[in-house]
Chain A
Amino acid sequence: MSAADANLLTTPLNALHLELGARMVPFAGYSMPVQYPAGLMAEHHHTRTAAGLFDVSHMGQLRLVGPDAAAAFESLMPVDVIGLAVGKQRYGLLLNDEGGIIDDLMFVNRGEDLFVIVNGACKVGDIAHIQAKIGQRCQVIPAPERALLALQGPQAVTALARLLPGVEQLVFMTGAAFEWQGAAFYVTRSGYTGEDGFEISLPNEQAEAFARALLAQPEVQPIGLGARNSLRLEVGLCLYGNDIDTGTTPVEAGLNWAIQKVRRSGGARAGGFPGAAKVLAQLDGTAPPARKRVGLIALQRVPVREHVELQSADGQKIGEVTSGLLGPTIDQPVAMGYVSAEYAATGTRLNALVRGKPVPMEVTATPFVPTRYHRG
Chain B
Amino acid sequence: MSIKYTEDHEWIKVEGDSAIVGITHHAQDALGDVVFVDLPEVGKTFAQKDVAGVVESVKAAADVYMPISGEVTEVNEALRDDPSLANSDPLGAGWFFKVKFSDAAQLDALLDETAYTTFTKAA
Q: Which residues of A contact B (CB under 8 A)?
A: 1, 34-35, 39-41, 44, 226, 229-230, 301-303, 305, 325-326, 328, 355
Contact = CB atoms under 8 A, between A and B. Distances in A.
B123 interface: yes
B84 to A, nearest CB: 9
B75 interface: no
B111 interface: no
A301 B59 contact: no
B35 interface: yes
Contacts of B109: none
B59 A226 contact: yes
B61 A305 contact: yes
Contact of A355 (B32, B38, B57, B59): B38
Interface of B: 32-33, 35-36, 38, 54, 56-59, 61, 123
Contact of A325 (B38, B54, B59, B123): B59
B32 A302 contact: no
B70 to A, nearest CB: 21
Contact of B57 (A1, A40, A301): A40
A40 B32 CA distance: 7
A209 to B, nearest CB: 30
9 contacts: A34-B59, A40-B59, A41-B32, A41-B58, A302-B38, A303-B56, A325-B59, A328-B58, A355-B38
A229 B56 CA distance: 16
Contacts of B57: 40
A302 B33 contact: no
Given A355-B38, A355-B54, A303 B32 contact: no
Chain A interface SS verdict (over half): mixed
A6 to B, nearest CB: 15
A71 B32 CA distance: 47
A303 B62 CA distance: 12
A44 B123 CA distance: 29
Contacts of B35: 303, 326
Contacts of A302: 36, 38
Contacts of A39: 32-33
Counting chain B CB atoms within 10 Å of each CB, the highest count among A1, A229, A302, A325 belongs to: A325
Given A40-B57, A40-B58, A35 B32 contact: yes
Contacts of A1: 123
A326 B58 contact: yes
Nearest to A42: B33
A230 B57 CA distance: 11
A325 B59 CA distance: 7
A41 B33 contact: yes
A35 B31 CA distance: 11
A42 to B, nearest CB: 8
Nearest to A35: B32
- The 7 A-B residue pairs whose C-beta atoms are closest, nearest first, are A41-B33, A326-B35, A226-B59, A40-B32, A40-B58, A303-B56, A325-B58
Nearest to B36: A303
A303 B123 contact: no
Contacts of A301: 36
A301 B38 CA distance: 11
B102 to A, nearest CB: 25
Nearest to A34: B59
B6 to A, nearest CB: 19
Given A40-B59, A226-B59, A302-B38, 5 more contacts: A35-B32, A40-B32, A230-B58, A303-B56, A355-B54
Contacts of A328: 58
A358 to B, nearest CB: 14
A128 to B, nearest CB: 32
Nearest to B30: A23
